[in-house]
Structures are given as C-alpha cells and as structure tokens.
Amino acid sequence: MEKSYDKISLKTAAARILGEVKEFKTASLLTPVFMILEVICEMIIPLLMSVIIDKGVSAGNLNAIYETGLFMIITAVCGLAAGMLGGKMGAKAAAGLAKNLRAAMFRRIQRYSFENIDKYSTAGLVTRLTTDVTNVQNAYMMLLRMFMRAPSSIIVAMIMAFVISPKLASIYLIAVIVLSAFMGMIMMRATRYFTATFEKYDALNESVQENVNAIRVVKAFVREDYEKDKFKKATENIYRMFIKAEKTVVLNMPVMMAAVYSCILLISWLGAHMIVVEELTTGQLMSLLAYCMNILMSLMMVAMVVVMVSMSQASAKRITEVIDEEPVLKQKENPEKNVADGRVAFEHVDFMYAGQSGAPVLNDINIEIKAGETIGIIGGTGSSKSTLVNLISRLYDASKGAVKVGGIDVRDYEIHSLRDAVAVVLQKNELFSGSILDNLRWGNENATEEECRKACEIACADEFISRMPDGYNTHIEQGGNNVSGGQKQRLCIARALLKKPKILILDDSTSAVDTATDLKIRTGFSEELPDMTKIIIAQRISSVQSADRIIVMDNGRIDGFDTHENLLKNNTIYRDVYESQNSGNGDFDEKGGE
C-alpha cells in the first residue's frame, strides 16, 4: 500500500532529522574522532606484538619485552579510554537527537488545525513519537560510532597487512570482496523484513490505544475476545516478521566465521612456508592474524550499520512528515486582535472536509445572528450542525464564501483572539487530569476562585461540586472518568464561560443534563450574560424553544430559521419533531429527522 510518507525523499528526511541535532553537534562530531583514536590504538597493538616476538622472544632480549610491553599497555589503556568516551558521546548525541525530534514533533502537533489532525490517527502519531524516534536514535548512534570506525579500521588494517606482506594481505582483499557480496545480499533481505515489521507497529499501537482508551465500552459490549484476537494478530504479525528478519541476519555469523577461519588457515599455512624460507618472521605472522580478525569484524559492523540505517529510513520519513505538515489554518499578517461584538454572519458558505467527495457537507449557508441573540440549532444526526458551528471559531475554514464574526471575516483575526472570543463546548468534550479548579482554569488561567465559582453557578455545576469531599480541589481523573456525563458537560460549560466569550457555542452540551437543570442553565445565561451571543445545538426542542430564533438544519442546508412559533406554523420538519417529542417523549431522529 502506498504510504503518505513515501512521497518524502530520503534527502529531505535526512536533512530534517540532522537539522534537529542542534546543541548536540559537538558530541556528534567528537564521537567519530574518539572512535578513530580507538582504531589507531587497536592497530598499533598487533605491531607491538610482532616487535615483542621478533626482538624480544626470538632474540632472548628481556629488556625489549619490558619496554615494548609497557608501551603496549599504555596504548591499550588509551584505546580503551577513547572507546569509552566515543561510546558515551555517541549515546549522548543520539539521545539528544531523540529529545529534539520529539520536541519538534510535539510543538508542530500543537499547531495543527482540525484538518491536519483528521489526517493522522492518534495511534499513528504515538508510534511516530515513540517507536520511530527510538529507531532513528539507535541508527544515529550506530552511525556515529561505526561509520568512521569500521571503514577506517578496515583500511588501516589492510595497509598494515600490505606493509608486512603484500602476498599474504591479498588473501584479505579477496575475502573482503567475497564476504561483502554475501553480506550485502543477506542484509538487503533482512532490511526488507525489518521495514515491514515497523509498519506493522501502527496496527499494534492502534489496537492498544483504541482498546485501552475505550476499555469501558469494550467491556460493556463484551468485546474482550474480539479485541484480544485483534491484538494477538497484531503482535503475532510483528513476531513473525521479526523472526524472518532475524533468521536472515543470523546467517551472517556462520558466513563470517567461515571466512575468518579460512583466512587464518590459509595465512598460517602460507605464512609457515614463508617463515621457513625466512621471507616472514613469526611476529609478523602473529600480527597478520590479528589484522585478519579486525578486518572481518569491522566488515560485519558495516553490515549492521547499513541494516540499522536502512531500517530507520521509513521512521525518519514518518517523523519528517509530522514535522513538515503545514498547519492548514494560516494567520494573515497584521491580523485583527479585537473582536468587536458577538455578531455572526455566514455569506454563501459551502464546506467540504478534506478528501471528501460528493456533495458538500454545508451547502450555500446564509445567516445573520445579532450580538446577544440566543440561537437554537436543531437537525437530524449528520445534518452538519457541528460542522456549521465549527466554522465560527475557525476550527475549519469555509471552502467557499465567508464566515464573519463581529463584522470581520474570521480569517482576518488572530486565531488566538478569535478563539478567546468564541468559546465552544465541543460535542466530544474532554476534561484533563488535575483538580476541578485546574480544569476550569483551562478557560482562563488567571481566573480567581470567585470567578470560577460564579461560572460554575451559571453552569449549575456548583451544586454537585459542593457535595464532593474536596469541593473545588477534587481530583479529576484522566478524561474525567470519575464524574458523570452530565457533570462533565456542566464543568465543560463552566470552563468555556470563564473565557468571558462574546459568543458561546454549546454543541449538544446539555444532552446528559436533566431537563430542569437544562432550563436553569439557560435561564442563568439570559439573566447573567445578556450581551453574550449564545448558539445552542440540541436534540430536544425543549432546549431551544425559548431561544430568540431557531435554525432547522437538514442535510447540510438550512431548512428554516425563525422563532419557535413561526417555525411551528411554517416548517414541517420542526412541527413533526415537536409533535413527536411532545406526544411520546420521542427524540429528534425518531420522526421528521430525514
């Protein structure tokens, strides 16, 4: 399946990722330097070894052995220190890069508009922030530590070997070429499997996220078995892919060892002949064997780095996609900061969701709402009520026509000022973990406790808060799980009121509140906040019938916009619903909603 991030070129992804190294550049540059120091020390040791054997052991010179031995210890300690420092710097640089990448993604996601968010699943974003970043982090660390070390180790060891004996060193050259070809083949296969595995992580995360998020629904519908099955499939898929990939990778070791031992055998056999005819010393043969191990091990490292880096390619692209996603809502230069009043006007507005085909969700909407008016909106499920009000606070931009607030196009406002003036209680509202006061102050962080109490009074939330053991300091669980649906709705209304908005939009926000309290809230609005424009979406006619005017939505169009009395006289849909709700407590969709 074609993925949206496939369009991103590797070059763009690499540039974007490396652009986030920032303050960890020094560590990133020091890592290969230390690694090369380690290589140099490692290469000197076999050389010293041959000196000990030839000048010390064979010649019976104990002093030479002590001197060279001391030198060897110093070199070994230096190499060890360089290796450790290189490892530490590499880890620091990679962890720092991961931190910066996560921060960059998170910052960008905060700027996303609703349209941007529609494009990603929550699970997808979580995978990108976690697994993908870890992938890139590991690959970056390997790259820093090995991309200079391994090749330079191969080259230096090769040169040393050639200096000692060109004849024997050519064996390495052949081994390296043959082995490279083998490993290349193995690694190409493994990379394919690994890449496929990481794509499967999305499915796993989706399953985990959905299930854990909605665990109550899962239980209520006794869907545990189905969910378990789904989860099992996702994990087993990953398991199988990993096994396949690892099965391929383990081939590396035997191939590698076969090459190492063949080389050792060949060199020992040929070397022995050469020692006999005095073309080579014993010490030189020893160092040649050490270089052999070095060269082939480094080759293996190169292969591993190649796998890790190619594995992280998809991750890098997926991260880049999030960072590069342009927030759809643009703020114009020198935007208007002041919303004059609560007037709202729709002028020939059409709206379609991104990627949607067919008829627009909103079709030629023309309405004018005066400041301070109370407007009810009623209409069947999917008739675009939510879509209509979402355009007012510019959660989405109209596809055609203009939406005006306070006489000015919403696109001309600073988004922040507009959203402060237009408070929306979304249909899918959320509370966050923290005390009730913390939650209320989402609306206005500087609100005093007195203001919070006042807002709760209007939203009829005070009565249940005062009954709670810790009152306003009661802790709300994540997602508001420890308050009832109706209590949550009232807290969300209070939170919106604290913004002191010019326009308040309630999207089905009293659906879980009993009728008497619902009435009390509306009475509170008209008594306490007469200048605020109130737009109330509801399923019950009783919730809107006292409004100044009522919009009847039908299939993305406005079917009627008038007072309750006039609509009863002139609007069939409205009359049908009114009668059905009054006769048998039916709700909107039982009749007339079509």
Ligand X SMILES: Nc1ncnc2c1ncn2[C@@H]1O[C@H](COP(=O)(O)OP(=O)(O)OP(=O)(O)O)[C@@H](O)[C@H]1O
Residues that bind ligand X (CB under 6 A): 118, 353, 356, 361, 379, 381-387, 427
Looking at beta carbons only, is 281 or 386 nearer to Mg ion?
386
Shortest distance, CB of residue 511 to ligand X, whole angstroms? 10
Question: Hey, is 537 helix, strand or coil?
Answer: strand
Whether 360 contacts 387, CB under 8 Å: no
In this chain, which residue has its C-beta nearest to Mg ion? 386
C-alpha distance from residue 498 to each of 60, 226, 391, 393, 536 (Å): 93, 43, 22, 17, 18
Given ligand X, Mg ion, none, residue 570, with its beta carbon under 5 to 8 Å by kind, binds: none
Q: Chain-centre distance of CA 68, in angstroms?
A: 56
C-alpha distance from residue 68 to each of 54, 169, 290, 365 (Å): 11, 25, 17, 91
Shortest distance, CB of residue 352 to ligand X, whole angstroms? 9
427 near Mg ion (CB under 5 A): yes
Shortest distance, CB of residue 586 to ligand X, whole angstroms? 16
Strands across the sheet containing 408-409: 362-369, 344-351, 400-405, 408-409
Given Mg ion, ligand X, none, residue 361, with its beta carbon under 5 to 8 Å by kind, binds: ligand X
Looking at beta carbons only, is 11 or 428 nearer to ligand X?
428
Phi, psi of 10 (to 5 degrees): -60, -35
Looking at beta carbons only, is 16 or 488 nearer to ligand X?
488
Report the residue from 31, 287, 298, 386 that binds Mg ion according to the rule CB under 5 A. 386
Given Mg ion, ligand X, none, residue 379, with its beta carbon under 5 to 8 Å by kind, binds: ligand X
Looking at beta carbons only, is 287 or 539 nearer to Mg ion?
539
| Pairwise CA distance, residues 562 & 121, whole Å | 40
| Pairwise CA distance, residues 151 & 157, whole Å | 10
Q: Is 235 exposed, middle or buried (0-12, 13-18, 19+ CB in 10 A)?
A: middle
In this chain, which residue has its C-beta nearest to ligand X? 386
Tell me how far apart the terminal alpha carbons of the chain are, to the nearest angstrom.
Answer: 38
Whether 237 contacts 200, CB under 8 Å: yes
| Pairwise CA distance, residues 513 & 217, whole Å | 21
Shortest distance, CB of residue 392 to ligand X, whole angstroms? 13
| Pairwise CA distance, residues 208 & 211, whole Å | 5
Q: Which stretch binds Mg ion (CB under 5 A): 147-155, 188-196, 381-389, 558-566?
A: 381-389
Looking at beta carbons only, is 271 or 556 nearer to ligand X?
556
Across 246-358, where does the E strand assignment appear? 344-351
Q: Which contiguous run of DSSP H or E holds residue 551?
A: strand 549-554
| Pairwise CA distance, residues 421 & 402, whole Å | 18
| Pairwise CA distance, residues 475 & 203, whole Å | 34
| Pairwise CA distance, residues 428 & 511, whole Å | 12
Shortest distance, CB of residue 377 to ligand X, whole angstroms? 9
Q: Which stretch binds Mg ion (CB under 5 A): 106-114, 322-330, 337-345, 382-390?
A: 382-390
Looking at beta carbons only, is 75 or 116 nearer to ligand X?
116
Given Mg ion, ligand X, none, residue 207, with its beta carbon under 5 to 8 Å by kind, binds: none
Shortest distance, CB of residue 535 to ligand X, whole angstroms? 13
Given Mg ion, ligand X, none, residue 331, with its beta carbon under 5 to 8 Å by kind, binds: none
Shortest distance, CB of residue 320 to ligand X, whole angstroms? 24
Shortest distance, CB of residue 426 to Mg ion, whole angstroms? 9
Looking at beta carbons only, is 386 or 511 nearer to Mg ion?
386
Residues of span 13-52 touching Mg ion by CB under 5 A: none
Looking at beta carbons only, is 381 or 446 nearer to ligand X?
381
Shortest distance, CB of residue 10 to Mg ion, whole angstroms? 42
Q: Which stretch binds Mg ion (CB under 5 A): 229-237, 306-314, 355-363, 422-430?
A: 422-430
| Pairwise CA distance, residues 564 & 546, whole Å | 7
The DSSP secondary structure of 446-480, one letter per residue, reads T--HHHHHHHHHHTT-HHHHHHSTTGGGPEEPGGG
Whether 161 contacts 291, CB under 8 Å: yes
Shortest distance, CB of residue 356 to ligand X, whole angstroms? 6
Looking at beta carbons only, is 267 or 538 nearer to ligand X?
538
Whether 560 contacts 383, CB under 8 Å: no
Given Mg ion, ligand X, none, residue 381, with its beta carbon under 5 to 8 Å by kind, binds: ligand X
- How many residues interact with Mg ion (rule CB under 5 A)? 2
Given Mg ion, ligand X, none, residue 356, with its beta carbon under 5 to 8 Å by kind, binds: ligand X
Looking at beta carbons only, is 235 or 427 nearer to Mg ion?
427
Residue 104 is which amino acid? A
Binding site for Mg ion (CB under 5 A): 386, 427
